[in-house]
């Protein structure tokens, strides 16, 4: 990585290739992201999941039929 410094007034600036800048930025972004550990679902969540899975196998009725049964159509 070739780095050049430029002094404008009292400030010093660093010039580097765009490719090197993108690599440094990607490395910094990956380090700043927090690592989230998957949590174990609670007993209530497990119960809700089991209920949802059991209801998936239940037969369904079309919305149009349901509207007729309720007298909305």
Give the Cα separation of 21 and 12 in Å (integer): 17
- Give the model's pLDDT for residue 1: 67
Query: Hunting for tokens 């010093």 — which residue is that?
Result: 12
Give the Cα separation of 54 and 35 in Å (integer): 33
Bridge partners of 15? 4
- pTM exceeds 0.75: no
Per-residue pLDDT of the chain (73 residues; tens, 9 = 90+): 677 899 999 999 999 999 999 998 988 888 777 777 888 999 999 999 999 999 998 888 899 999 999 998 7
């Amino acid at each position: 990585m070739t780095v050049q410094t430029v002094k404008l007034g009292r400030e010093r600036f660093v010039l580097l290739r765009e490719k090197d800048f993108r690599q440094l930025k990607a490395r910094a972004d990956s380090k700043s992201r927090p690592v989230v550990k998957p949590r174990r679902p609670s007993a209530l969540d497990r119960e809700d999941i089991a209920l949802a899975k059991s209801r998936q196998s239940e037969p369904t009725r079309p919305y149009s039929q349901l509207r007729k049964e309720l007298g909305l159509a």
